[in-house]
Each structure stands twice: as structure tokens, then as C-alpha cells.
Amino acid sequence: MRHLLAGSISRIDLAVWVAVILFFCGSSTLFHGNLQLSFIGAAGVIVEMLIIGVCIEIIIEALKPKKGIGTITGFITNGPEALCLIVGLAVGDILFAASTPLGSNFMNPVLLLIAALLCSMSLAVFRCKPFYTGATVLLTIIFSISFFLLPEAYYPWWAAGVCIITIPLFLIRPAESSSGQPEEILHQADRWLWPAIIILICTGYFLDSVVGFAAEHSKAPKGVIGFFILATLSSWPEFKSCLSLLSRGKTLSAILNITVSNITNIWLAVIGVATYLAFT
């Protein structure tokens, strides 16, 4: 287990943690916020990011010998988006409910590219199934944009249309290979798999609240928060998954982690639309 914990923290994590502290505390100083509470909020964000990183490492180590690890992690890392969708539906706001899963579709491919650069795997990522990757990312982004441009009366047509396109996209995804690993590590990871999944989903859900606390007391500009903080940190599980998979040489799995995540985000929005229309 020490091997898993050590592998979840890298220089990249340390650099991001420092950037988070500097962002919130610097904003608090510039815009006359509460420096002490801003630091506490930033520390909370860092703790959440650390927990997410550890959970991702455990999940990937446990699933490493299995085929379809990219697909599986693509589903698992969408747990926080699913919980945010439920919260939005509970208050009857379909735009708010769909904004988190659909908004993640814009940031996910960007984070894949960043992970590829950090792991020196850019060429491998671009050469691995470029047509499927490009088509899936482009279509899911277009579907996400179109949802916010359509009037509510067209939501059923939108839901039907995206299902017709995305279900075949999911079914024709490239097949992944499996690989072995030491039995000791496998047994340790297996023991913690389901706790890690549950903790990951819960931690991802509360990440937005912790970021909101830090943003409120740092008086950070809303535009900067929306792009740099919320968009990036809400996709932190996907980013950590890509880093972990690429560092293990699993290029296709990292790509599928993002493409499946984007497709799943579309399906979450469809479920949200169907639920909203059924009860309104």
C-alpha cells in the first residue's frame, strides 16, 4: 500500500498545490478578502486533490490486469458529475443539473493533452486512434454546446439525437489489452478497490463546495474561477487517471478514459432531461 500512496504524489501534484495556494491567497491579498480563510479553503482543496489522487492510483492498480480499464475509469470518474446532476434535479433546475457533466466535456480533452505533454507521450496520443478520438471529442463538445442553445421544447429531440449518435460511438470504441502485475500489489489494491471508488465519488462531489468556500473568501474574479478553478478541478479525477495510465504506457486506455467520460457526460444529461420532463 505504501507503493500506491507514494505513486499518487508527484512533482506535478506539488506544483499544482503551490499554484492553488498562491491563487487563492494572492487573490485574497489583491481583492481584500479574508487571507486566513482563503488559506484554509486552499488547504481543503489540496486535501481533496490528494485523496482523489490516492483513490485513482488504487483503482488503476486494482484494474490494471483487466481489459477495458480506460472504459471503466471513464465511468468511475464521472461519479461526481452524476451526484451534481442529482442535486440540480432536486432543486428543479435542469440547466444547473446538466452544466457540470456537459461542462466537463470541454475540459477533459484539454487535460488529456496536458497529461500527454507532462508524460512526454504527445506523439503517442496523437497517433493512437486519431479518427475515433477526434470524432468522439468533437461530437460530444458540439452536443454539449447545442444543449445550452436550444429552447426547452426541443430537449426531447436533443436527447433522442445524441443517443442515436453516442451509443454507436461507445459500442465501436477500440478494444484494450490487459497486462499482468505482481500478486502482492494486486491483492492490496483489490482489498481497497470499492472503498476507493466510494471515497473518490464523495470527494469529487464535495470538491466544488470546498472550491466555492475558498473562492468566496478570496474574492477571486468569477470569470477566472469559472475557467481555471471550477472547470479544471472538477475534472481532476480524469486528469489523474490520464497521468496514471500514460505513465504506465497505456495510451489507448488514457484516451478511452476521456472519450468514454465525455460520452457518459452526455448520457447523464440525457437522463437528467428525461427525469426533468417526466416530473414537470
For 77-130, write each residue's pLDDT tens digit: 887 778 778 877 887 878 777 877 888 898 899 989 999 998 999 999 999 999
Quote the cell numbers at residue 90.
Answer: 432536486
Residue 184: Cβ within 10 Å count: 9
Enter the DSSP assignment of 230.
Answer: I
Under the banding of pLDDT at 50, 70 and 90, the label for residue 183 is very low
Helical packing angle, 236-247 and 35-63, nearest 10°: 40
How much of the chain exceeds pLDDT 70, in percent? 85
Q: Where are the beta strands (DSSP E) in the chain?
A: none
For residues 21 and 152, what is the distance between their CA atoms, to the nearest angstrom?
41
Q: What is the mean pLDDT of residues 24-32?
A: 90
Q: What pLDDT, on the 0 to 100 scale, is given for residue 190?
A: 67
Range of the domain at 20: 2-278
For residues 157 and 99, what is the distance between their CA atoms, to the nearest angstrom?
18
Scanning the structure block, which residue is given the C-alpha cell 444543449?
147
Mean pLDDT of all residues in the chain?
Answer: 83
For residues 269 and 244, what is the distance between their CA atoms, to the nearest angstrom?
28
Least confident of 115-129, 158-172, 175-189, 248-262: 175-189
Domain count, the chain: 1
For residues 188 and 197, what is the distance between their CA atoms, to the nearest angstrom?
15
| R_g of the chain, CA atoms, integer Å | 19
